[in-house]
Amino acid sequence: MRDSDTATPADDDWCRTEALFNGEDDGAYQTGSSSSYSLRIHGRTSLVDPEAASAVSDPVSGFRIVEEREPKSRRKGDLKVLQGDRYVCLWTPCGSSRTFNRPAELQRHYTDKHVRPNVYRCTALVHTKPCSKEYYRLDKLRYHIRTEHPRETEFVCPIPPCNAGPYTFDLLCVHVPSHDPATVRIFLGPAESCYEAKNPPLVCPVKDCGTKVNYYGSRHHLLSHDTDTRASNQEAIRGAGYSELDGLKLCPICGDSIDIRYTGLGPVGNNWLDHMFQHEPEMLHKHRRDIFKIYPRFASSDPFRNNVFKDVLATVLAKK
């Protein structure tokens, strides 16, 4: 007997595979001379009698349970039939008619919407009214922010009951880490990746390359180009914030190259912070977006929040 509709779905309840055979009768298909086919439930496969299996149904959800035909021998002809397979969520409270191409997609749906149904809400202000679009996946929210809202769009803090702001997104990312990290993770994911929502991965500035590189692999990728190539693309590389000579990041204020070494745990030493705080707070605020783009974690650093952000933010909010 099933649990109530509000219970967490059991393994055997939440998914089955749905085979779509272009209108063919579900119980009539067999492969070669085989008199049985496999029923796959949540990653487990067992051989069943096709006549008995064709009568399987789900009395609670009302969904028709259709099994995936998986022949013992995956010949090309069989694979053409299997290309129509879809996966569907059959947990009763879900009620979604959406189908999925791969088990991994169904697993993500199950995890995001049923196991840990976090809702990531956009708090951008559009004509003084909140955007309020909601997403079950953090990457979808980041894509929405990056593509739908201009750079000067203002946001309020999404961590209840704070609602601080409104801030431009870069300043919001400075404010957010002041909250408890566990709370931040629920509403925005890892705090250090907050600013990355507004900045896509680096696209290699070398002509005709176009490789997308994450922040940590940028220097390694740039150095994969030979010296002559980097020299001929000097202007583009420097415009992206890097030195064409050694791939080091350039200070957006003075242009000096800064070596930030990494281990698996993150940056070693505070040479970036030491260099940055040689500059006046007003200059740090003026160039903050370029700094955050090159070194996103600078936004969550205690020296920036305590020595720069509070004073500048008070001035910004006073002008509103």
The predicted-structure confidence for 281-297, as pLDDT tens digits, reads as follows 778 777 877 777 776 66
Q: State the pLDDT confidence band at 5, using cuts at 50, 70 and 90.
A: very low
Is a pLDDT exceeding 80 seen at residue 36? no
Q: What is the mean pLDDT of residues 43-69?
A: 37
pLDDT on residue 127: 79
Query: HSE on the CB side for 107, CA within 13 Å?
Result: 6
- 178 has pLDDT over 80: no
**What percentage of the chain carries pLDDT values higher than 90?**
3
What's the average model confidence in pLDDT over 24-31?
34
Average pLDDT over residues 223-239: 90
pTM (2 d.p.): 0.44
pLDDT in tens, 244-284: 888 888 888 888 887 765 444 444 445 666 777 778 777 87
> What's the confidence (pLDDT) of residue 186?
57
pLDDT band at 139 (very low <50, low <70, confident <90, very high): confident
Grade residue 124 by pLDDT with cuts at 50, 70 and 90.
confident
Q: Which of 22-31, 66-75, 138-147 has the highest mean pLDDT?
A: 138-147
